[in-house]
Amino acid sequence: MKVKNKYVNRSRISEKKFREIIKYFSLDLNAVQIKELTGLSRQTINKYLTAIRLRIVELSILQSAPLVGQIEVDESYFGARHVRGKPLFLAC
Domain ranges of the chain: 15-63
Cα 30 from chain centre: 14
Residue 17: CB partners within 8 Å, gap ≥ 6?
38, 40
- Distance CA(16)–CA(7), nearest Å, equals 11
Give the residue among 2, 40, 1 at the shortest CA–CA distance from 21: 40
pTM of the model: 0.66
List, for residues 49-65, the tens digit of each pLDDT value.
999 999 999 999 888 87
Residue 10's SS3 state is: coil
Positions of the chain with pLDDT lower than 70, given as ranges? 1-3, 82, 88-92
